[in-house]
């Protein structure tokens, strides 16, 4: 499937009234992925919240959040019934207890497919990046 088709299918999941919860296990690639999804949904949904399954303690992650102005909440503090759509990035439902009881609308991940269901699954293959010389 072409990238444009995957993006169209992703957008088709959402409406302007949706309140979207993005679930992550916070590390740099999950934080960046959540930021990208939030930006893609900007002006397309009512609200987007990024929720972490873990308490962020590592200095590099805290610095990233601070410098980029990323706001996150702890998953345990979220009232999930206030959200109409649920997206997981850089993870899958079986990777965190907090995800297991939710209906997942989209999974965007580079990890091997664990066979779990979602309205849309977008696999993002990792590419080897060579240093610029």
pLDDT tens by residue, 22-44: 999 888 889 999 999 999 999 99
In a domain, 71, yes or no: yes
pLDDT digits (tens, 9 = 90+) for 64-98: 999 999 999 999 999 999 999 999 998 877 778 88
The set of residues, in sequence order, having a beta carbon less than 8 Å from that of 74 and lying 6+ positions away, is 51, 52, 55
pLDDT value of residue 112: 59
**51-73 burial code (b ≥16 CB/10 A, e <16):** bbbbeeeeeebeebbeeeebebe
What is the span of the domain harbouring residue 70?
25-123
In a domain, 86, yes or no: yes
pLDDT value of residue 79: 94
In a domain, 82, yes or no: yes
pLDDT at 123 over 70: no
Structural domain tally of the chain? 1
Count of Cβ atoms closer than 10 Å to residue 11 Cβ: 12
> What distance in Å separates the CA atoms of residue 95 and residue 131, rounded to the nearest whole number?
31
């Amino acid at each position: 499937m072409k990238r444009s088709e995957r993006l169209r299918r992703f957008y088709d999941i959402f409406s302007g009234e949706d309140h979207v919860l993005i679930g992550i296990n916070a590390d740099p690639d999950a934080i960046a992925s959540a930021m990208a999804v939030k930006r893609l949904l900007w002006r397309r949904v009512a609200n987007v919240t990024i929720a972490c399954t873990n308490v962020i303690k590592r200095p590099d992650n805290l610095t990233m959040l601070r410098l980029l102005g990323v706001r996150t909440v702890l998953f345990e503090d979220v009232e999930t019934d206030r959200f109409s759509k649920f997206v997981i990035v850089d993870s899958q439902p079986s990777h965190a207890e907090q995800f297991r009881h939710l209906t997942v609308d989209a999974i965007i991940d580079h990890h091997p497919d664990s066979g779990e269901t979602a309205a849309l699954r977008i696999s993002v293959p990792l590419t080897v990046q060579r240093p610029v010389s």
